[in-house]
Amino acid sequence: MPLTIVVMEHLWYYAYMIRNKILEEVRADYVLLAKAKGLNKKKLMFRHCVRNVMPAYLSIMAIAVPHVLGGTYVVESVFSYPGIGALSYESARYHDYNLLMLLCMMSGILVIFCNIVSQTINEQIDPRMKDEVITEKSEVVEG
């Protein structure tokens, strides 16, 4: 039950966002050109539309990791489920600041790790993103 609540809390937003982005992509000119060339619908959706939508989707998912963690803290408190949320609450309640600091650092490391993984996957999906990062870094060094 607690896991279902945490997943469903954010899943509707991702599904809504992907639906809207896919509908935008389907109406784009390059999709019309691909249809005119004779690509079937499945190839068109995966090669063109989904490939262009996924980087934005993955970035938003990586940014949402702290919200999901915060949601687990609340859900664990409501359902009296032993987990990181209950542990952090108890450590704050009994002034165990070392454990609380460790939990905050682990949460921060998890958020940073998810952002790095998201960026790596985005670069694999769309190689142009890697070129943009390199160009931005070179402009900063030169300027």
Query: Residues 125, 55: contact at Cβ < 8 Å?
Result: yes
Helix (H, G, I), strand (E, B) or coil at 100: helix
- Measured in residues, the chain has a length of 143
- What pLDDT is stored for residue 86 in this prediction? 80
The model's pLDDT over 74-91, given as tens digits with 9 standing for 90+, comes to 778 777 878 888 888 888
- What pLDDT is stored for residue 141 in this prediction? 60
Residue written as tokens 């949402």? 64
pTM for this structure?
Answer: 0.68
| Least-confidence region, from 21-25, 34-38, 133-137 | 133-137
Q: Rounded to 5 degrees, what are φ and ψ at 81?
A: -100, 125
- Looking at the predicted structure, is the pLDDT value of residue 119 above 80? yes
Helix (H, G, I), strand (E, B) or coil at 143: coil
With pLDDT > 90 as the criterion, what percentage of the chain qualifies?
Answer: 8
